[in-house]
Structure 1
Amino acid sequence: MTRITQSHIIACSLILVFFIIPFTLKASRPLLNILESKTIDLRFALKGEQKSSGKIVIAGIDTKGIKAFGRWPWSRSVFAQLIVRLSEMGATTVVFDIIFAEPESDPVSFLLSRLKKDYKDLGLLTGDFQSRIFLDEINQALADSDHDAIMAEAMSWAGNVVLGFALEAKSCSQNKPEKSPAKAMSNFDFDSPDFSPDKLTSGQFRLLMPIPSFKHSAARLGFVNIFPDRDGIVRRVRPVLQNNGISYMSLAVAAVAHFSGHTPCIKDGKIALGSARIPIENNLVLDFYGENSFPAYSIADIIHGNLPRDAVKDKIVIVGGMATGLCDILPTPLSAETPGVFLLATFIDNLLQNKIIRVPEFPVWAETAGIVLLVLSLLAVTCFLPPTISILSVFSGMAAYFILAQMLFAGQLILIPLFFPIALAGVTLAVFTIINLVKEARRHQWIKTSFSKYLSREVIDILVKNPDQLSLGGNEKELTVLMADIRDFTTISEKLSPKELTLVLNHYLGVLTDVILEQGGTLDKYMGDAVMAFFGAPIATLRDPVKACKAAITMCEKIHDKRIEWERNGLPSLHIGVGLNTGTMVVGNLGSAKRFDYSVIGDHVNLASRLEGLSKIYGVKIIISEYTKVHLEDSTLVTRELDQVRVKGRKAAVRIFELLGNDYFTAGSYTFIETFEEGLTAYRKREFPEALKHFEKTLTLKPADKPSLLFQERCRTLSAAPPAADWDGTWNFTQK
């Protein structure tokens, strides 16, 4: 767990400012909208292709039609035939994704008109019978070649044709704007008091209308303008546009209005088209179906009667280009090259099925609150959970949000923001993780620097990986303390120069320190010629007392092995005494805020120091307490009970034991231990003569055994002056 620091607070504030500004400043949103739009493409790709309503058919201008009717543009008589044929086949609505803004240019009509004019100009039309017949024939020929009139007549006869027009910027248009749109393009009815025209896209445009005869013959008109997103991809369409206070419906809305027989109007802030309710937005996200969602037929096949009669019955037929070079190719989320006619078909089908993708809108304060809540949540997760778990948790949350967004999109047609929340979560996670990693690196470096004097490299590596095992300050733990001291160091130091004394101490302390660290102990401090260490902190194991005892034995063995080398170099022979005790004590970084040591304090620490002092009195190398001895039952270490003592500063008596090593035995014999302990038992029973015999026998097995000599002296003294009746065999030491 990482504590929240000033760095976290500063980073949190910067993140909030960086991400809240785009929501408070509209000028910052276009970039976010582009990035968010890319997630729409991903959602469509994951959603896959869908089926359309089956109510839309494409009548395509394709290569087959080019072969049948000649190169583009075709004579409008072809479209007249198409309109008649589709109406006869039962098509409900015929939609032209073509703007017929200019009259058809026909060479025959031009020549006939020129001929008629020239005859008039030359005065050849005199009004006689022959002149009138000639004029009638010219007029009939002109009428037969007026394909615009033929198509307009077909449109009027069918009564189901919806045409398109375009709104152009004034700078792009060469024609004068229409003064009054046709009835087919009538205004919407605004009957809702909460409706705001500001929701409609407004601007000063010129109208690029069909020729007058077409405009008046069409059942309805609608604009065909396409507005790609800033990255050039078409994802959105506009159901209405407003120009000079007049609202115009799109070609798709006009087609659905005719097909359904309903007149669109504005109700409750939405376009009401029968049962459909279309949000009044500048951009309406299309629900794309895929390339093969709409059946497409060649116009040539339709006119020549190569289709079943029910192919277009009761359907909307969209007439538009499909061949390369004959249509607008637009990039969409599902394809980089989508003919514009399929885009129109998608828009119409969305309206027919009322498949309106809803984009929830939230007030700025709600978005701001959401950002703050998300950032604070991520701060809590990254600070109060381990790094791996926090990263996995955040990524799991991001994945869950992505799945939720995709499910809402695919199942409910709800488009919630995806890029921004995930980007916010990702950036916040990255920033907080970097801060935590830097803090952790500093903490690791602090651990290495602070504990390199006390611990082995292996133990430091464990602490670095598990810093929670290190409790800063002090806490109580059961530890084993080791105290080691040079015997008669004062006498030795008097014989050496300061330089020689320093050399001896460095050799001696180096040997002892290496042993402590090798056994996983913690070096506490050097006290002149004494060394203090403890086992069980900061890393605790079940065998810490055993490790401490092995360290003590190895110390004595190493000093014994080094003694010959030191004597060869003219250095004095050194002997050490070691005391070990196990118990509950306080361990931690003790000292001031500016300077501290990782150390231990407590009664059991003092007892270890007393035991080290007793090792000289009893003439043994290592003394351990009964509290340490109890942890050696499962080990192969050999001990001998020495005595039960009460040291200075403690009221309670403690049994003490000698810990044996290779430096003590005669050919590895342990028989003296049993004999000595039999004498100790007799001694405690006040059977001093019997005890004396056992100690004398011990001396035969291990000559010059100082504990045996010590108890011989006690037995003789107590035989002469028996102890009090409440004597329990405890020997009291009044000095350290």
Structure 2
Amino acid sequence: MVAATAARQQCLGATPSPAPALHCRHSSAGTRHCPHQPGDQQPRCRTAAPRSVTGRYRNLARLATLLLVAAVWLCTHFGLFTWLDLVMYDTHFKIRGTRPTSDRIVLVYMDDKSALRLGRRHGGWSRLDMAAALNNLSRAGSEIIALDVIFSAPSVDPRHDKILADTIYNCNNVVLARISSVAGLGSVEPIVPFQEGMIGAGFIDLPLDQDGCLRKIHFFNAHPLDNGALQLLPAFALEVARTYRNLDYSFDFSHSNYFTLGSPEQKQLRLPYPDLLINYYGDHHVFTRLSYADVVNGNFDPAAVRGKIVMIGSTLKTEKDFFTTPFTHYRTVESPFADRFAASISNVQDADDPGLSCHAQAIETILNQDFIVPLAAWQQLALLIACAILGHLLFFRFTGTMPALLSAGGLLLVVLLSSQLAMQAGLWVRSPELLAMILAQIGASMILLKFYEKSRNDWVTSAFGKYLSRTVVEQLVKGDINLNMEGKHQQLTILFADIRAFTTLAENMSAQQVTQLLNRYFAAMVPCIQAHQGTVDKLIGDAIMAFFGAPVPSSNHPQQAAQAALHMLETLRQLRGNSDIEQLRQLEIGIGINSGEVTVGNLGCEQFMNYTVIGDAVNLAARVEGLNKVYGCHILLTDDTAEHLDDTLVVREVDQVVVKGKETATTLYELVGYRAAITREQLQALEHFATALQHYRQQQWPAALAELEQVLTLSPHDGPATLYRQRCRQLQAQPPAPQWDAITRFTSK
């Protein structure tokens, strides 16, 4: 059985020391590592993240969000999103589709077929035919007859006007149309005889949006009176709805969000400010339609109009009383003449809805109280801010491009679905500005993320480039390794390396020679540490402090530290053999390694930051390094490190010690080398030393000396064997006290 196996068995039987308090350590170029002891005055340390990078990114992200909110709101204020708002408004209707109406409105079309059947002459429809139609509808039980026809001039035959006026009067349910304003003419109203018999009149002016689409009507137009007052003229749809509900022409504007039509004792209609957004139920086909000629001739089912609102209006192409609505907007049909006239008419706009059906849609909206209310300006702003905050939380994170794009896609979908659901509930949310906010934020986040990545890469390179290997730095830059600079407790392995007798060596050298020697030495040693994923913490005079397991996490950090130590010794041998500096050929180093829990992170103060480790495990590694001089070794390990090494490395137990500043014993091991490089004679020497150590602890001095002589025969310069031979001879001459426990206690560093 080789010495390494025996050493591990003894190591596993050692009593671990209790978790010590953490102490800060400091050093300067003029002093070597000097860990603080309990009770020493210690500088205050704190942890800190790379705030210069993340802080700048977060501040820029907040500023970008604020600027984008302001920019989007200004664009909304100046109408830059109006066209998109209208497109989305129409799209909501297309997605929702048609809905059934209440079936209380019937449309009578004065169409081309009726004109042919009734012999309509150029200039207008016969007023006798109109009187016949009104009589037939009234006898059939129509509740309201609304004429979307302007009778602004007398007929050629006054008798015809008299007959129609008497019919309107006798029906007592006719609402006439007027035009509130015509350029150069003012208002256009029915002739006085007709006004005397009507039960109401409303203006048929229909306001179009900037894209030529009809989406709303005005409830009122103000008409100045001779006494200076203003008369509120109702819209045609509002007047028809009022007369159908038999409400007084009385309004209450005391409410902030709506006004009411009708007297308080009546079942009032509640109407929104300021205009009526027509909640279209589809195109004109959703209503029951009759031919004007059939109505004039009495060829219709009376049940079709009984108790209903019957609206009469022209659909002649020459009248040009057609309007584009959300259901007919962008609707095209294939022309039957496309093969002849090619692209010039291959896509022609389908017939728009007649103005009559548009008024009917408005009446249906009013009577059903099925209003579309736009979100108030302050509510839209609040929603924009909420969307911006959510976008800020989702996009301005360090998650990369793809997660941000997926988040943006999800948020866009949520906004679109929510706006569609809100529209179906009667609330118009102007989604384009929200969508613009999301897209602007995702664009800004991509730009800022590139800025952050560049700043982070520059910071990683500057922060770690000098004491981490190039491969590790590249992994950190690419993000393959999660970098956490916050202070935390972590199990690491600490390595100290020191030049033996450097002070004596440097006494006969100039400052330039010392600098040259150390630069050459460090240039050779630092890559050995980095090659095994070690982090060079600091250079302390002629000493090197490094640790393994951070910032790159590793579960094998004791093995990496041991391999780095052997690499350093081999590199030093090569350096001594090839150096042109005489003192460099005389260099000997000692290395101490310990594993344990430390505090690791970006430590320091505002003026200086350093990614480093502090703790009792660091102090012990420094003490162990100094014991190489005592035992004549090059690499000493603690049991916390040795027990985690695999069988490719050979270690031997050297002693159990209590270093200064500790009260519990630590088992020391020497790292001998790689098993593949150990000779038979070295293995035999290790076995003899392990046996000698057992005899020593049993106070069998002659047996221990005999084994030690065997070791020195095989390896004449073996440091631990030489030390124990001296100890055995001293203890043989002066036996120890009965309570002797074979533990060596050191009272100095």
- In the superposition, the TM-score normalised over structure 1's length comes to 0.75
2:673 maps to which residue?
Answer: 661
- Is 2:649 the partner of 1:637? yes
- Is 2:195 the partner of 1:215? yes
2:8 maps to which residue?
Answer: none
2:324 aligns to what SS in structure 1? strand
> 1:3 touches 1:384 (CA, 8 Å); kept in 2?
no
Distance in 1, matches of 2:662 and 2:239, equals 103
Deviates more, 1:7-16 or 1:268-277: 7-16
2:643 aligns to what SS in structure 1? helix
CA shift for structure 1 position 379 = 6.9
Distance in 2, matches of 1:677 and 1:71, equals 129
Distance in 2, matches of 1:588 and 1:734, equals 31
Superposed CA offset, 1:347-379 (max 9, x none):
1111222223345658x6x88888878877877
Instruction: State the AA in 2 paired with 1:283.
Output: D
1:335 aligns to what SS in structure 2? coil
1:410 maps to which residue?
Answer: 424
From the superposition, tell whether residues 327 and 497 of structure 1 become closer, same or farther in structure 2 (CA, over 3 Å): same
1:122 maps to which residue?
Answer: none
2:353 maps to which residue?
Answer: 338
Instruction: State the AA in 1 paired with 2:640.
Output: Y
> 1:264 touches 1:271 (CA, 8 Å); kept in 2?
no
Distance in 2, matches of 1:299 and 1:40, equals 34
Bigger Rg over Cα: 1
Aligned pairs (5 A) from 1:89-168: 89-104=140-155, 147-168=160-181
> 1:66 touches 1:72 (CA, 8 Å); kept in 2?
no
- Is 2:568 the partner of 1:517? no
Superposed CA offset, 1:183-212 (max 9, x none):
xxxxxxxxxxxxxxxxxxxxxxx3211233
Distance in 2, matches of 1:63 and 1:530, equals 106
Superposed CA offset, 1:223-267 (max 9, x none):
111122345432221222221211222111222233333334214
2:644 aligns to what SS in structure 1? helix
CA shift for structure 1 position 222 = 0.8
- Is 2:452 the partner of 1:448? no
From the superposition, tell whether residues 66 and 667 of structure 1 become closer, same or farther in structure 2 (CA, over 3 Å): farther
Distance in 1, matches of 2:179 and 2:312, equals 17
From the superposition, tell whether residues 29 and 280 of structure 1 become closer, same or farther in structure 2 (CA, over 3 Å): farther
1:238 maps to which residue?
Answer: 218
1:79 aligns to what SS in structure 2? helix
1:296 aligns to what SS in structure 2? strand
2:308 maps to which residue?
Answer: 315
Superposed CA offset, 1:373-404 (max 9, x none):
88778778888997899998898677656655
Deviates more, 1:285-294 or 1:505-514: 505-514
Deviates more, 1:501-510 or 1:95-104: 501-510
> 2:133 touches 2:297 (CA, 8 Å); kept in 1?
no
Q: Which has the higher contact order (CA 8 A, sep 6+)?
A: 2
Distance in 2, matches of 1:467 and 1:97, equals 76
From the superposition, tell whether residues 62 and 476 of structure 1 become closer, same or farther in structure 2 (CA, over 3 Å): same
1:177 maps to which residue?
Answer: none
From the superposition, tell whether residues 320 and 660 of structure 1 become closer, same or farther in structure 2 (CA, over 3 Å): farther
Equivalent in 89, 98, 106 of residue 49 of structure 1: 98
1:445 aligns to what SS in structure 2? helix
Distance in 2, matches of 1:664 and 1:568, equals 29
- Is 2:243 the partner of 1:258? yes
> 2:505 touches 2:583 (CA, 8 Å); kept in 1?
no
Instruction: State the AA in 1 paired with 2:95.
Output: L
Instruction: State the AA in 2 paired with 1:447.
Output: V
Distance in 1, matches of 2:249 and 2:416, equals 37
Instruction: State the AA in 1 paired with 2:219.
Output: P
- Is 2:298 the partner of 1:283? no
Q: How many residues align?
A: 656
Equivalent in 343, 346, 353 of residue 368 of structure 2: 353
> 2:176 touches 2:198 (CA, 8 Å); kept in 1?
yes
Superposed CA offset, 1:15-60 (max 9, x none):
776688899xxxx475677665555334333332211111122222
Aligned pairs (5 A) from 1:70-85: 70=120, 73-76=123-126, 77-85=128-136
From the superposition, tell whether residues 371 and 416 of structure 1 become closer, same or farther in structure 2 (CA, over 3 Å): closer
From the superposition, tell whether residues 308 and 541 of structure 1 become closer, same or farther in structure 2 (CA, over 3 Å): same
Superposed CA offset, 1:124-160 (max 9, x none):
xxxxxxxxxxxxxxxxxx56xx654454444344443
Distance in 1, matches of 2:87 and 2:704, equals 96
CA shift for structure 1 position 628 = 1.6
Instruction: State the AA in 2 paired with 1:638.
Output: V
CA shift for structure 1 position 346 = 0.3
- Is 2:107 the partner of 1:58? yes
Distance in 1, matches of 2:316 and 2:531, equals 83
Instruction: State the AA in 2 paired with 1:356.
Output: F
From the superposition, tell whether residues 580 and 319 of structure 1 become closer, same or farther in structure 2 (CA, over 3 Å): same
From the superposition, tell whether residues 277 and 468 of structure 1 become closer, same or farther in structure 2 (CA, over 3 Å): farther
From the superposition, tell whether residues 282 and 228 of structure 1 become closer, same or farther in structure 2 (CA, over 3 Å): farther
1:690 maps to which residue?
Answer: 703
Unaligned runs of 5+ in 2: 1-48, 225-229, 330-351
- In the superposition, the TM-score normalised over structure 2's length comes to 0.74
From the superposition, tell whether residues 212 and 506 of structure 1 become closer, same or farther in structure 2 (CA, over 3 Å): same
CA shift for structure 1 position 344 = 0.7
> 1:276 touches 1:351 (CA, 8 Å); kept in 2?
no
From the superposition, tell whether residues 17 and 577 of structure 1 become closer, same or farther in structure 2 (CA, over 3 Å): same
1:326 maps to which residue?
Answer: 319
From the superposition, tell whether residues 506 and 209 of structure 1 become closer, same or farther in structure 2 (CA, over 3 Å): same
1:638 aligns to what SS in structure 2? strand
